Amino acid sequence: MSQQNDPLSGQKIRLLSFNIQAGTSTAHYRQYVTHSWRQVLPHSQRVENLDAIADFASGFDMVGLQEADSGSLRSGFINQSKYLATHADMPFWCHQSNRKVGTVAYAGNGFLSRFEPDAVEEHRLPGVIPGRGTLLARFETSCNGLDVAIVHLALGKRARAQQLRFLARELDSGRHLVVMGDFNTSADSPLVREFCETLALRAPTREMASYPSWQPQRAIDHILVSESLDVGAAEVHDLTFSDHCPVALEIALPKGLQLPAARPVVSLESSGWV
């Protein structure tokens, strides 16, 4: 196909958003109770799941993780974002640890990439119950640059409303923008529609059910992209390594924007990232 007729004629980026439930699979609602010990104690299946997730993630260019453990008792003190980046051969990774329960569980967002961002920002999201955040990777500092935000929104409608309005103020609609993660609500909900209208985003994955993984019925995991970005294939992958299925989307950047490959094994960590 000629470049003139190719709807994805710019640099192609394969995106993946995956709530990995700290590497724990779930096959039925009752297992949230019967297997609840897996959320506080290490077990062999967790490493097997992480290896399978890493193998799958190796086929993508940018991966947004939610509910990734940053090195607590339940993960065997393994930073799961780092583990997945290493085993998926992703040269860049960073992690935002949002919720710590003693030394038992450290939940947060992760970002793996074949491209190295110029900056990474960590935003704490508002809400009565703390522990939600957004990890923002920024590529190129010009107005023509790309921002990729990894989000995990609250279960409650009121808290989600606060969080989406906060993000609408913090994110820059003047740049090319990707917002992906676990929204815990439909892209057709009034709150997400308002968010998309404010930031000129569209939702190519809007009707793709991703939860629960054993019988997907709810479309709550999304990849939202600026209207300035060309969109290719969107897909929910039927995998059972978590209680969510991963959501994938191919995009193409404008021809004037080209992301350089990251250097081997690059990571960003600060006192806010574990």
- The full set of domains in the chain, from first to last, is 12-257 (3.60.10.10)
Q: How far is CA 69 from CA 73, 77, 110, 153, 190, in A?
A: 10, 9, 9, 17, 31
What is the C-alpha separation between 71 and 96, in angstroms, rounded?
A: 12
Q: How does pLDDT run across 27-60, given as a tens digit for each residue?
A: 666 655 556 545 655 566 778 999 999 999 999 9
What is the C-alpha separation between 130 and 174, in angstroms, rounded?
A: 29
When pLDDT is averaged across residues 168-175 and rounded to a whole number, the result is: 93
- Could you tell me the two tokens for 107? 């939940």
Q: How does pLDDT run across 87-142, given as a tens digit for each residue?
A: 999 999 999 987 665 555 577 999 999 999 999 999 999 988 778 899 999 998 77
The per-residue pLDDT for 105 is 57
Backbone angles phi, psi at 156, to 5 degrees: -80, 140
| pLDDT of 24 over the 60 cut | yes
Q: How far is CA 220 from CA 18, 26, 91, 189, in A?
A: 11, 17, 29, 10
* Closest by Cα among 30, 61, 54 to 241: 54
**What is the pTM assigned to this prediction?**
0.89
What is the C-alpha separation between 161 and 118, in angstroms, rounded?
A: 30
The per-residue pLDDT for 246 is 98
What is the C-alpha separation between 95 and 81, in angstroms, rounded?
A: 6
